[in-house]
Amino acid sequence: MNSQLRREYLDALGLKAWTLRTAATPALAPATPALAAATPARDVSATREAGADWDELRARVAACTRCSLSATRTQTVFGVGNPHADWLIVGEAPGAEEDRRGEPFVGRAGQLLNSMLHAIGLAREQVYIANVLKCRPPGNRDPNLTEAAECLPYLERQIALLKPKIMLAVGRIAAQNLLRTEKTLGALRQQVHRFGVSNVPLVVTYHPAYLLRTPTEKRKAWEDLKFARDVISRV
């Protein structure tokens, strides 16, 4: 990406005065014992959807009625992107626009996510984007435990098929569900977590919808993106 284009994306992030520089190299260490206890390894190869290929998995999601969200959705939102991507971006659940269009991270939040990715040299088409939940909770309420538990095996199978080098959990709900913790987002940032028995490095940052409401936090999101970029450079 040329420097002019990158500057434009950084402008979109509200980081006009910033220049890219090499961040301190994060330690790509195993999860701390406390974190490991909070995030037990799951055998993603042995989950409910094991064996399904992309097409089969997409069909299962489209027909799913495992939780009550199936009654209120317009359509399921499976995920989008490069099925060979190194980066997997995981959000919480579809919003109104995503429910209408059948694609995750569209609308203003999606545009900001695109800008965030571009700022670290990634096009949306280079990554894979999905949510923990495939159906929209009415009124954009937080998903409940049953809904998340019923839907997570779909994401686990997506991860098993994708084999990403890094996962970026955006937003508190996604991070808490993926890491099985109730810690705050602030406590989960700037660390290398691990997901599943495949031990995929997982980094946590803010949801772009939150950043639109709270632009003062964009600087922290930018720090998280640089952190994640440095993590994957060492994988």
* Cβ 90 vs Cβ 168: under 8 Å: yes
Is position 20 an interface residue for ligand SF4 (rule: CB under 6 A)? Answer: no
Q: From the CB of 78, what's the least distance to ligand SF4, in Å?
A: 9
Cα 105 to Cα 200: distance, rounded to the nearest angstrom = 22
The alpha-carbon radius of gyration of the chain (Å, integer) is: 17
Q: From the CB of 88, what's the least distance to ligand SF4, in Å?
A: 18
HSE of 56, CA atoms in CB hemisphere, 13 A = 7
Strand-pairing partners, residue 166, are 87
Is position 92 an interface residue for ligand SF4 (rule: CB under 6 A)? Answer: no
Strand-pairing partners, residue 205, are 170
Is position 69 an interface residue for ligand SF4 (rule: CB under 6 A)? Answer: yes
Q: From the CB of 73, what's the least distance to ligand SF4, in Å?
A: 6
Q: How many Cβ atoms sit within 10 Å of the Cβ of residue 50?
A: 13
Query: Which of 103, 150, 224, 230 is in the footprint of ligand SF4 by CB under 6 A?
Result: 150
Please give the size of the binding site for ligand SF4, defined by CB under 6 A: 14
Is position 134 an interface residue for ligand SF4 (rule: CB under 6 A)? Answer: yes
The residues that touch ligand SF4, with contacts defined as CB under 6 A, are 61, 64-67, 69-70, 76, 133-135, 147, 150-151
